[in-house]
Amino acid sequence: MIGIFKTNINTQKEKKLVIRALSGEFSVTMCTLDLEDCDKVLRVECLQMEEHQVISFVRDLGYQCAVLD
């Protein structure tokens, strides 16, 4: 699964926290977050995970997260 999400993650500290948490919770093969993009794009590549799981997990961390159209 490759998921591309719009977030409100703004700082390097938040970025590291979210990527570390996602990598620890799921079988992530690659995870990036573009803080320069206006949508703060989170891209997650994972072996077994659904988009709704990523959204729920990131929201539980206290951030907005939605599938990027």
Domain count, the chain: 1
User: 10-31, pLDDT tens digit by residue?
Assistant: 999 999 999 999 999 999 999 9
**3-state class (DSSP) for residue 64:** coil
pLDDT at 48: 86
Distance CA 40, CA 10 (A): 7
- Residue 39 DSSP class: T
User: 20-67, pLDDT tens digit by residue?
Assistant: 999 999 999 999 999 999 999 999 999 888 999 999 999 999 999 999
Containing domain of residue 32, as a range? Answer: 2-67
pTM assigned to the model: 0.94
The CATH number linked to 40 is: 3.30.70.100
- Do 41 and 6 meet the contact criterion of CB atoms below 8 Å apart? yes
- Do 42 and 4 meet the contact criterion of CB atoms below 8 Å apart? yes
Alpha-carbon torsion (56, 43, 31, 16), positive or negative: negative
